[in-house]
Amino acid sequence: MIEFNYETDFKLSSEDAISAWIKETIEQENHILEEVNYVFCNDDYLHKLNVEFLNHDTLTDIISFDYCVGKRVAGDIFISVERVADNAKDFDVSFNAELKRVIIHGVLHYCGYKDKTDADAKLMRDKEDFYLALYNQKFI
């Protein structure tokens, strides 16, 4: 099950398509969807979580709490729509493109991908690009 929650005025325009895309991503990665909760919020909300739970006094676009067991995918993913908007401008991409990248980034972490080393970050980016292309081909 995938649920979308909102702690800001933002609302996804295509929850059904995004859910189907996330489910397919998890299946293609040979994992099983249990429960993933997305919470869309603002910078202040996510910053508070970052300080309280991770002891990081910085802004970020995404924080995920991983409850996966083996190949069973479960977790809470918090996304700052303000940070996504700023990053979209910095990377010269649309807000929707950057939002989808962040949405799938969290799921790919749950499927075992890391991004701390250059090699891991490149693999993560390649996977993001692959699944973004899948979304554009199949779910638009």
Q: Write the CATH number for 125.
A: 3.40.390.30
pLDDT of residue 55: 77
Residue 132 is predicted with a pLDDT of 95
State which amino acid sits at residue 86: D
* Spatial distance between the Cα atoms of 36 and 133, rounded to a whole number of angstroms: 22
Q: What is the pLDDT of residue 44?
A: 93
Residue type, 132: L
Question: Is 105 among the annotated ligand-binding positions?
Answer: yes
Owner of token pair 């891991």: 120
Report pLDDT for 38.
Answer: 98
What's the pLDDT tens digit per position in 81-101?
A: 999 999 999 999 999 999 999
Q: What share of the chain is helix, strand, coil (3-state, %, to 5)?
A: 55, 20, 25
CA 28 to chain centre: 17
Domain count along the chain: 1
Q: Which pLDDT score is estimated for 30?
A: 97
- Name the residue range of residue 51's domain: 2-138
Q: Distances in Å between the alpha carbon of 70 and those of 25, 60, 73?
A: 16, 27, 8
Task: Convert the pLDDT of each residue in 14-72 to its tens digit.
Answer: 999 999 999 999 999 999 999 999 999 999 999 999 898 887 888 889 999 999 999 99
Query: Has residue 138 got a pLDDT over 90?
Result: no
Measured distance CA(36)–CA(26) in Å, rounded: 11
pLDDT given for residue 62 in this prediction: 93
